[in-house]
Amino acid sequence: MTFENDNIRLLVFDNMEQCTDEEVRRMLPLVSEQRRQQAMQFKFLFGQFACLKSYEMLMSLLGTKGEKPEFVYGEHGKPAIEGCDMHFSISHCKQGIAVAVSKRPIGIDIESFREADEALINMTMNADEARQIRTSPTPTQTFIELWTRKEAVLKLRGTGITDHLHDVLLGNERVITHTNNTKGYAYSIAMDY
């Protein structure tokens, strides 16, 4: 899936049948040495594939032809490309990979549907969010939609996961959430405009 407007360019890849050793070998020479090393640190094929595929998707969105830029990382691990005036965010789960770029700060998160127990709901959601989950006809989907919203906002802010998860969605950020019930995932994009 591709999405583009004046502010955001987005790619979502969910054809995970392509996650093969052959595809990993194909992508290895197409990425920077830094990204190749990062990919090969993953023990399992999926981690290697997601690391390489997300880089390939990012380069496509940035329009870098043949370039292999390396990442620099902020205090909390948020990646950037030195000298690049575009902001980006990358996320992946077992059902898909999502990459977004924008001229302004952006955050994206994609998550597979999975049930959340009461302890996790209480730890991550405020009272209103917990009520939404408990009263939803699809509580698993509602939990994941809320969770991706929170993580996208945290990625936008560049803070990583904090102890203040209950208050994350109380800011001024604009968040858009999409759900793919057929493939079993949701993703959210957070913007500060």
Average pLDDT over residues 125-150: 97
List of residues 6+ apart from 118 with CB closer than 8 A: none
Average the pLDDT over each of 1-5, 25-29, 63-67, 79-83 and give the range with the smallest value: 1-5
Select the more confidently predicted residue: 102 or 161.
102
* Separation of alpha carbons 43 and 47, rounded Å: 7
> How far is Cα 26 from Cα 181, in angstroms, rounded to an integer?
31
Give SS3 for 138.
coil
Specify the pLDDT at position 94: 95
Question: Across all residues in the chain, what is the average pLDDT?
Answer: 92
Closest CA relative to residue 113, chosen from 10, 14, 1, 9 = 14
27-47 pLDDT, tens digit each? 999 999 999 999 999 999 999
Task: Give the mean pLDDT of 134-161.
Answer: 93
Q: How far apart are CA 175 and CA 191, in angstroms?
A: 6
Q: Is 65 exposed, middle or buried (0-12, 13-18, 19+ CB in 10 A)?
A: exposed
Over 90: is that where the pLDDT of 135 sits?
A: yes
Helices (H), the chain: 21-27, 33-40, 45-62, 118-124, 127-135, 139-157
Q: Check whether 148 has a pLDDT greater than 70.
A: yes
Percent of the chain with pLDDT over 70: 95
How large is the average pLDDT for residues 78-83? Answer: 86
Assess whether pLDDT exceeds 80 at residue 6: no
